[in-house]
Amino acid sequence: MYRNDPDSTSKTTITLIIAFILAIMIVIADKNNDRFLQKTKSTTDQTITPVLSVISTPLRATENFFARSQDRRRALEENTALKAELYQLREATERANVMEMKLFRFEQILKANIGTDIPNEKIAARAVSELDGPFVKAALLNAGLKKGIKVGHPVMTVNGLYGHVVKVGQNSARVLRLSDLNSRIAVMSSESQATAILSGNNSHFPEISFMSEASAWSEGHQVITSGDDGVLPRGLPIGRVKRGNNNKLGVELDADRVPVDWVWVYPFVPISAPEDMSDDNVLTEAHDIPLSDEEAQ
Amino acid sequence: MAFSSYSGSGGRGQTTQAVFMLLVLTLIGGLNLNILGYSIAMHLVPLIGICLWPRRAHPVYSIIAIFILGLLLDLLTTEALGGRTLIYLVVFSIFRPDKRIKEHIFGTALVQWLVSVFLVLLLIYFFGWMSRGTRPEALLLIYQAMLATAFFPLIYFIRYVISYILVDPDDRYL
């Protein structure tokens, strides 16, 4: 079954040993966040994005075919459910309009603006490769700096928050998904306003940890971003609270419901600390504060 | 002369087509398949290329190619750089295609594939656990292995056909 050629064996064995040593050295260098390797990773992302975009096309077509046939089977029951939801939403929209009017009036009286900080502008991008590995939950987008995407920008699917940008090149961006082990997002319950941290655990069911009031969280609550971390805007939908097998509270992610193809990146500018701002924009003395029109009069 | 059995157009042809096949499988390995409610990474698919590595391919060039393509898969999957390369090299050094006397028939190739997958799953599980401090989702790894196994017959067939068309009759088999 196997042959033995001493010449080739020795050369091959030496090459194998060298390859093993090199590979181990690369693993160690990567663990120490070697700058050259990080740059290489970024360059590879940019180079490979167009290739992956082409390769993933038949794969996405297959996924869409299965998704569409599933949709067709559920069409009738979905239609009934959607009609019911539509009637509910019409009423909810009317209520929301009234509330918006009231809120606007209160804001005028109090001279406060407590409106949402979700930007109106969206950048569309395609998730050319979605990684669902045992250690990494990430995605590669085919848009980058040229389209205005920056590190930290939230990434949304039609259903909810998908993750945030962690690396960006000229034409590509790497997204850290909510389920990744390194993902930590400040969240709140829409129902109780209680805050917590959503911690990714490399499963499809990230855990709710560091709850401000544990009793204020229960199954079925809608989870949204709280904006407390100053990194993501407040109010982005994430999913619903569900109790896991280990009796811990987790979140069933809205973004996981369907295969992800197109996403939106919100060019959200986080709040800057005064010490991070340029000197011209920082007022340190009380007399520096400009008077309002009324006070000036 | 060393590697005389790997030189010549046959050996070069075998090496080239094996490297090309592994490159294509590596690019596919960077993708995810979302189907029937399951999201499964295709990270184990490139391993098929290692298992079906032709015995007449030049071993030194093969190791260099496997090393580079392992790094490429690490970059694509944003896993720890060098980890996948190590796993590929372990599989290559255990099965050593250049030491094989007989050509691969489907049955033996499948057995070798199943053993490789089992070994790789163990390596990923325990090395991942040790290096990251958290156990990977075992079920996810098993799904990946099942998906790659489903691809195995197709890739074996494509590999066989390419070999039949491009390579001399004497060097044809895997």
B23-45: pLDDT as tens digits: 999 988 888 877 766 778 888 99
Domain harbouring A225, CATH code: 2.40.10.340
Q: Is A108 on the interface with B (CB under 8 A)?
A: no
pLDDT at A45: 75
Quickly count: other Cβ atoms within 10 Å of residue A25's Cβ. Answer: 11
pLDDT at A228: 83
Six-digit token pair at B52? 């079906």
Closest-approach residue (CA) in chain B for A182:
B132
Residue A2 in any domain: the answer is no
Residue A272 in any domain: the answer is no
Same domain, A166 and A85: no
Domain that holds residue A42: 12-111
Six-digit token pair at B159? 């590999």
Chain B positions touching A199 (Cβ under 8 A) are none
DSSP chain A: -B---HHHHHHHHHHHHHHHHHHHHHHHHHHTT-HHHHHHHHHHHHHHHHHHHHHHHHHHHHHHHHHHHHHHHHHHHHHHHHHHHHHHHHHHHHHHHHHHHHHHHHHHHHT--------S--EEEEEEEEEE-SS-EEEEES--GGGT--TT-EEE-SSSEEEEEEEE-SS-EEEEETTSTT-EEEEEETTT--EEEEE--SSSSPEEES-S-GGG--TT-EEEE--TTSSS-TT-EEEEEEE-TTS-EEEEEGGGSS---EEEE----PPPPGGGS-GGG---SGGGSPPPHHHH-
A294–chain B nearest CA distance, Å: 57
pTM of the entire structure?
A: 0.67
Report DSSP state, residue B52: T
Cross-chain residue pair B85–A23, CB shorter than 8 Å? yes
Same domain, A128 and A105: no
With 60 as the cut, is the pLDDT of residue A3 above it? no
What integer is the mean pLDDT of A80-88?
89
Cross-chain residue pair A132–B70, CB shorter than 8 Å? no
Q: What percent of chain B has pLDDT over 70?
A: 86
Chain A positions touching B65 (Cβ under 8 A) are none
The tally of domains found in chain A comes to 2
Report DSSP state, residue B39: E
Q: Show which of A90, A111, A132 is a domain's final residue.
A: A111
Tell me which of A24-28, A106-110, A288-292, B131-135 is least confident: A288-292
Same domain, A51 and A162: no
Q: Show which of A62, A85, A111 is a domain's final residue.
A: A111
Same domain, A93 and A73: yes
Cross-chain residue pair B85–A31, CB shorter than 8 Å? no
With cut-offs at 50, 70 and 90, classify the pLDDT of residue B1: very low
B56–chain A nearest CA distance, Å: 12
Same domain, A22 and A89: yes
Same domain, A68 and A153: no
Identify the three-state secondary structure at position B143. Answer: helix
pLDDT at B4: 44
Residue A117 in any domain: the answer is no
Q: Show which of A89, A111, A133 is a domain's final residue.
A: A111
Same domain, A218 and A100: no
- Say whether the ipTM exceeds 0.85: no
With 70 as the cut, is the pLDDT of residue B138 above it? yes
Residue A288 in any domain: the answer is no
Same domain, A136 and A95: no
A144-172: pLDDT as tens digits: 888 889 888 999 988 889 999 988 888 88
Residue A270 in any domain: the answer is no
Residue A283 in any domain: the answer is no
Residue A7 in any domain: the answer is no
Same domain, A94 and A185: no
What integer is the mean pLDDT of B145-154?
92
pLDDT at A287: 55
Residue A184 in any domain: the answer is yes
Query: Looking at chain A from residue 48 to 67, which residues have their Cβ under 8 Å from any Cβ of chain B?
Result: 48, 51-52, 55-56, 59, 62-63, 66
Same domain, A134 and A160: yes
Same domain, A227 and A149: yes
A219-273: pLDDT as tens digits: 888 899 988 887 888 888 899 998 887 778 889 888 876 777 788 999 888 777 7
d(CA B21, CA B52) in angstroms, rounded, equals 10
What integer is the mean pLDDT of A15-32?
87
Six-digit token pair at A199? 């911690």
- On whether the CB atoms of residues A148 and A267 are closer than 8 A, the answer is yes
Cross-chain residue pair B131–A134, CB shorter than 8 Å? no
Quickly count: other Cβ atoms within 10 Å of residue A162's Cβ. Answer: 27
Between B7 and A195, whose confidence is greater? A195
Same domain, A216 and A137: yes
Identify the three-state secondary structure at position B5. Answer: coil
